[in-house]
A and B are shown apart, each in its own frame.
Chain A
């Protein structure tokens, strides 16, 4: 009986109160970041760690941007390749994607950077700097992930769109460029943004190759001073600032892309 009584007091309503929708998590994140920043600014041992780690940020950012750009090109090529009419292209692209997706990133980094790329260098007679080799390795891996994003985005466009284009006399290429790709971009951009952040985080794996990005610097600092807490605390702080900043930026871009004025509904909420 008491149970029914309590239910009677509640009103049945689907209206949301402000505290239901307020971004409390944002407050929590800002609070945590402020606290971390405060530690770093006020405590000398953290300050020391900061000074040792932060010079690596240019390598982290450069490697991220370069790897993303190369992966984008590889991904578009392999994604389109998988949809190609040409049986050789299609199977080459599929082999690449399945090979990469079947192996965890860390062993892949060793394999590609220390075995595959050096052999390719010898065979084709070019020379990459060590850091570039590490970057290309990351791009090679993410290219396969992006290929699946491009393929999925293109395949999400209804066949009727292609038929309408072709029946107006547009060629395969014209139909792809003017009709399919512009629509597919809507489905492609959000996951590409996720991969951009994922690449940023995975540049940390390049530390196993000895690239002097922030993770490697934090490891060196911690190992040589035994200040593990300070070293990794600062490292986590830097990554958080970078990734949270980026996802804010990407959120704005995404909202602009999926805004309701270009004829396609945004995917927010029920409509």
Chain B
């Protein structure tokens, strides 16, 4: 479904964030990307919906080449949901308006259609009673769940999560991970950058370990955790798992 070939991204001509990354993500697959900070995992994710423009290499989604300057990126982005570390809800709009906006403007849904979809997604993430609240009236966990609902309302083919729980207070991590676990079990194609190894083990089909812009190791989460093939992977997990 997603095919990344020889992807490289260089910032300011000399900072090599991502070097020659190859990655295939199949339909319905949950790929978890882990690695130390600065290892390029977020950059890979952001290249998948072209928030970063690749310096080299190619990315295709459902056969459509993203690096082709002729491709209609807005149409592709509508099919690719993105959840950010900082939630990025629109503070001047209510929860309902946040979720309806793109449905109306991009999907061209009617008011009643988008309202119906909004309530359906809010129910799915467990906060239907917050429809008329403003984002700042919600807890971090609730805000992130609204952000997930906002993406889901577009009925995307794939969901990208960029450290969705890293900005949350510890007691709110679980409510967001629960939503993501359920999404994974429903067969959503997902690419998740996270430090939550529990989630990787429970929901991940494959684990990608990145370091210094390169993919070091790919494999089933259990195997990579317990019996990594590479020394660098072993060092990383030794530091973070206890």
Interface residues of A (CB under 8 A from B): 158, 160-161, 163-171, 174, 178-179, 182-183, 261-265
Interface residues of B (CB under 8 A from A): 49, 51, 74-75, 77-82, 84, 86, 88-94, 101-102, 105-106, 134-137, 147, 150-151, 154
Known A168-B151, A169-B154; judge A163-B77 contact (CB<8 A): no
CA distance A31 to B189 in the complex (A): 72
Which residues of the partner chain A approach B150 to less than 8 Å between Cβ atoms? 168
CA distance A182 to B90 in the complex (A): 10
Contact between chains at A166 and B92 (CB < 8 Å): no
CA distance A167 to B80 in the complex (A): 7
CA distance A183 to B135 in the complex (A): 14
Pick from A160, A168, A178: contact of B86, CB below 8 A.
A160
Closest-CB distance, A72 to chain B (whole angstroms): 21
Known A167-B77, A168-B78; judge A161-B134 contact (CB<8 A): no
Contact between chains at B90 and A179 (CB < 8 Å): yes
Which residues of the partner chain B approach A261 to less than 8 Å between Cβ atoms? 134
A-side binding surface: helix, strand, loop or mixed? helix
Closest-CB distance, A159 to chain B (whole angstroms): 9
Q: Chain A residue with minimal CB distance to B89?
A: A164
Most chain B beta-carbon contacts within 10 A, residue among A174, A178, A182:
A178
Pick from B51, B77, B91, B101: contact of A264, CB below 8 A.
B91
Pick from B77, B90, B93, B134: contact of A169, CB below 8 A.
B77
The 7 A-B pairs with the shortest beta carbon distances in the complex, nearest first, are A169-B78, A263-B134, A164-B88, A168-B102, A167-B82, A169-B106, A160-B88
Closest-CB distance, A259 to chain B (whole angstroms): 12
